[in-house]
Structure 1
Amino acid sequence: MPHFHVPLVDVDKVRCVIRNIVRDWATEGQKERDQCYKPILEELVRHFPERSKESPPTCLVPGAGLGRLALEISCLGFISQGNEFSYYMMICSSFILNQTQDVGEWTIHPWIHSNCNSLSDADQVRAVSIPDIHPASAGITEGFSMCGGDFVEVYNDPSQVGAWDAVVTCFFLDTAHNIVEYIEIISKILKDGGVWINLGPLLYHFADMYGQEDEMSVELCLEDVKRVALHHGFQLEIEKTIETTYTTNPRAMMQNHYFSALWTMRKKPLVATGTQESMDE
């Protein structure tokens, strides 16, 4: 029998995907989804109360992970597209979205490799059934899609300029090598008057990789992130702090909590001459 060596980095990515399955597609993840997704969905409904089937508003979800938030947005009557860079996430989301035949069809043991902070053996080896809903029967619109690829490479394209009514970022901004570049692209792809809804912390993913080739990391505080957004034509409408978790084992002895920033910003329309006058008022 051949022996295959799996690098530890790939093992960690698989474990991450399994934790995200619980977050997005298990009943056990409902509390975390309510913390993170519900405020976003409420903001979308508030800003787009009229969603006609003939001309539904469009919403992009970068960093869509396993697709649950993008699906929930689609079910509200939006043309919703999730964008995800990780092929691990894309393969898993494709399986759940396209191959699932019934609720609770699959059983996983997501915490079996978590040897720390377990209350009991039973907690560590407990089973979790997925998915908690049948995706194909959830009420998604015809325009629902998932797009694989790097956000900067895919959406920093002339065809994407002014293409979206809304952009939703959830635990995504801090995945950037350069957060300023993310904000610039979000501004470009939104229509004039479009809204950007964000929720998440600033746990910059590349902050500890200094010196590694091609692993630059621009790390701004929240105040400076908002200042950059205002410079790129956004107007802050709503700002809150919401306590959330992320792929947390709800029965573990250790719980990591974030005080996540939630905001809604609107892209101010340019004046007809194309100058910055209206943005600087």
Structure 2
Amino acid sequence: MDLERVQTTLKQFVRDWSKEGASERNTCYQPIIDEVLKNFSPEHCEPDKIQVLVPGSGLGRLAFEIASKGYSCQGNEFSLFMLIASHFVLNKCNQKEMYSLYPWIHQVENNLTPQHQMQMISFPDVNPSELLRPSAANFTMAAGDFLEIYTKAEEWDCVATCFFIDCANNIVDFIDKIHYILKPGGLWINLGPLLYHYSNIPGEFSIEPAYSTVREVIAGVGFEMEKEETNLKTTYGQNPNSMLQYEYNSVFFVCRKVKLET
């Protein structure tokens, strides 16, 4: 089990911090970043006063990109493996492509050539310390369970989730929590599939509602949908040279917490 987590973390280095992962980041992260910039335009607000939370932040690239635009951003991650790796990249890498690894070395099937299995990638593709220096005070990472560590109501202006909400045993709990911690009029931006990570794990409680049902729950707790796209082609930690390719038809939506009339 731990070996699988290590392998997943290695692939996350590719997705978040290598030039080889640029295509995935452009598909999965850029739509979210664009919506943050659109809804909290530096021309109409002070970015450092806008509080953005990124739960399930993995190795921190999405949160890093939002913070580098001047917003006050916090990434949240539960996995110890991801936390160690993100800390290493964000705090110990002070130049581009300092380190190299072989993320596909354990992939023994679907290789066209031996060289594909032994392909090296270098990271990070940018210098995190250089890009964050002007706004370093506005970027933090928080370790812990999303449902447990965020207890203050109406604290965040924006919550950005990418390949995250299906990581819950009960997706309704995540939706309720996001609504609870957002300020009235706050924005929730989400992109990803509904893989439901606990659905096939023996002994784990899990519910797996269809997206149409999830959408009804989102409206029911007090969100108003402002933008919605389905069948958005996305990948996650994909080996571009593999003979087997997985692709998600993800959903991308932007919804706003309804302000209650007084």
- TM-score higher than 0.5 here? yes
> Does residue 222 in structure 1 map to residue 214 in structure 2?
no
Q: Which residue of structure 1 lines up, in the alignment, with residue 7 of structure 2? A: 15
Counterpart contact for 2:70–2:138, Cα < 8 Å? no
* Distance across 2 between alignment mates of 1:181 and 1:110: 34
Q: Which amino acid aligns with 1:166?
A: C
Residue 31 of structure 1 deviates from its aligned partner by 0.3
* Distance across 2 between alignment mates of 1:258 and 1:30: 17
Where do 1:84-233 residues align within 5 Å? 84-139=77-132, 141=135, 142-155=137-150, 157=151, 160-210=152-202, 212=203, 215-233=204-222
Q: Which residue of structure 1 lines up, in the alignment, with residue 260 of structure 2? A: 270
Residue 64 of structure 1 deviates from its aligned partner by 0.2
* Distance across 2 between alignment mates of 1:32 and 1:223: 26
Q: Which amino acid aligns with 2:207?
A: V
> Does residue 257 in structure 1 map to residue 257 in structure 2?
no
- 235, 241, 254: which is aligned to 1:245? 235
* Distance across 2 between alignment mates of 1:169 and 1:198: 5
* Distance across 2 between alignment mates of 1:88 and 1:127: 21
Q: How many pairs were matched up? A: 257
Query: Aligned-residue CA RMSD in angstroms?
Result: 1.0
Could you list the per-position Cα deviations for residues 71-106 of structure 1 after superposition, in whole angstroms to 9, with x for gaps in the alignment?
A: 001011210000000000000100110001210000
Residue 139 of structure 1 deviates from its aligned partner by 3.5
Q: Which residue of structure 2 lines up, in the alignment, with residue 6 of structure 1? A: none
* Distance across 2 between alignment mates of 1:52 and 1:237: 23
* Distance across 2 between alignment mates of 1:81 and 1:110: 27
> Does residue 52 in structure 1 map to residue 52 in structure 2?
no
Greater helix share, structure number: 2
* Distance across 2 between alignment mates of 1:149 and 1:101: 26
* Distance across 1 between alignment mates of 2:65 and 2:94: 19
Residue 137 of structure 1 deviates from its aligned partner by 1.0
Q: Which residue of structure 1 lines up, in the alignment, with residue 75 of structure 2? A: 82
* Distance across 1 between alignment mates of 2:119 and 2:239: 11
Q: Which residue of structure 1 lines up, in the alignment, with residue 56 of structure 2? A: 63
Counterpart contact for 2:154–2:182, Cα < 8 Å? yes
Structure 2: gaps (5+ residues): none
Counterpart contact for 1:169–1:197, Cα < 8 Å? yes
Q: Which residue of structure 2 lines up, in the alignment, with residue 3 of structure 1? A: none
Residue 271 of structure 1 deviates from its aligned partner by 1.7
- 32, 41, 56: which is aligned to 1:40? 32
Counterpart contact for 1:193–1:266, Cα < 8 Å? yes
* Distance across 1 between alignment mates of 2:143 and 2:71: 20
Q: Which amino acid aligns with 1:262?
A: F
Q: Structure 1: which 4+ aligned runs deviate by more than 6 Å? A: none
Instruction: Report the identity percentage.
Output: 43
* Distance across 2 between alignment mates of 1:96 and 1:62: 18
Q: Which amino acid aligns with 2:252?
A: L
Structure 1: gaps (5+ residues): 1-8, 273-281
SS of corresponding position for 1:138: helix
Counterpart contact for 1:36–1:170, Cα < 8 Å? yes
Could you list the per-position Cα deviations for residues 114-143 of structure 1 after superposition, in whole angstroms to 9, with x for gaps in the alignment?
A: 011111011110111100001111146221
Higher gyration radius (CA): 1
* Distance across 1 between alignment mates of 2:178 and 2:122: 36
SS of corresponding position for 2:105: coil
Q: Which amino acid aligns with 1:154?
A: I
The TM-score with structure 2 as length reference comes to 0.96
